[in-house]
Amino acid sequence: MYDIQAAIFDVDGTLFDYHDKKIHDSTVQAIKRLKARGTRILIASGRSFPLLGDECLSKIPADFYISANGHSILDSHRREIFTSRFTFEQTELVVRLARQYKCGLLLKYNDFSYLYSNPDEMFQVFNNIGLSQDAFRLCPSMDHHYEELPVGFTIRGGHEIKESLSAHVNDYRVELFHDITECDVFSPRINKMTALSRLADILGLDRTRCIAFGDSRNDIEMIRWAGIGIAMGNACTDLKEAADLICGNSWEDGIAQAVEQFL
């Protein structure tokens, strides 16, 4: 039996299956088995905390949440352990470009998500992953960042805004969704791995005794950090090349089968 101190799980395409639009019972039971053996359960997602959704928060017995691709760490009581926000100048540029290119824009926070523009289109983006409108607040004045700076952005629009932001390599990291008209925007200096390293120092975790599951390019650093990095069968090619192991697809009990192997 492999002695696992912590198990880290991405959400979209890993815990959350796009095919059936749910977290499978086999996945939930496998994670509960790990938890019962004393393994700490960590969620590491590009979603901000309020975008994790009721299903993830109620079904997965997580001890810690790494959200917004590492910009925030919260404990099981939703208390902030670490948060890194975009500067006012960085936020203003994103807002200005969204206005210029008439894009849908959402600003991510740890309590609510603020929809700045094209709310109907943005609701459609998040409805596809089972989120209700209760997770959002409308801000057509596009000025909430004057009160509080965000931990990330979600954009829906053409390629112009993505190219404009990608040109600022020191300020923004653009992560495309499966639908290439949609993307998340994070800091290039912060990712799931940097947050994991910070949390491991706090908890005294040995990374060689951690396993991590993911499916996308923004999971690569996390997969390489963990002692055993596992790519889902439905993962992108880059992640599979970085992983130690490849398990089954998210809709084919991939996580449950891998956990069974280690237990």
163-182 pLDDT, tens digit per residue, is: 999 999 999 999 988 778 89
Same domain, 175 and 230: no
Per-residue confidence band for 129, with pLDDT thresholds at 50, 70 and 90: confident
Q: Express each pLDDT in 80-115 by its tens digit.
A: 999 999 999 999 999 999 999 999 999 999 999 999
Specify if 11 maps to a domain.
yes
Domain identity same for 180 and 194: no
Specify the length of the chain in residues. 263
For the cut 80, the answer to whether the pLDDT of residue 189 exceeds it is yes
pLDDT for position 179:
79
Distance, in Å, from the CA atom of 89 to the CA atom of 131, rounded to the nearest integer, reads 30
Task: List all residues 6 or more positions away from 35 whose beta carbon is below 8 Å from its beta carbon.
Answer: 41, 61
Judged against a pLDDT cut of 70, whether residue 2 lies above it is answered with: no
Q: Does residue 71 sit in the same domain as residue 108? A: no
Domain boundary among 186, 213, 238: 186
Report the domain count for the chain. 2
Residue 97 maps to a domain: yes
Same domain, 107 and 179: yes
On whether both 78 and 147 belong to a single domain, the answer is no
Q: What is the pLDDT of residue 19?
A: 84
Indicate if 101 and 179 belong to the same structural domain: yes
Task: Give domain status of residue 1, yes or no.
Answer: no
Say whether both 78 and 205 belong to one domain: yes
Structural domain boundaries, residue 117: 88-186
106 shares its domain with 180: yes
Q: Give residues with Cβ within 8 angstroms of 16, minimum separation 6.
A: 22, 23, 55, 56, 129, 130, 250
79 and 134 together in one domain: no
pTM of the model: 0.95
User: What's the CATH number where 27 sits?
Assistant: 3.40.50.1000
Q: Are 195 and 166 within one domain?
A: no
State yes or no: pLDDT of 224 exceeds 70.
yes
Residue 116 covered by a domain:
yes
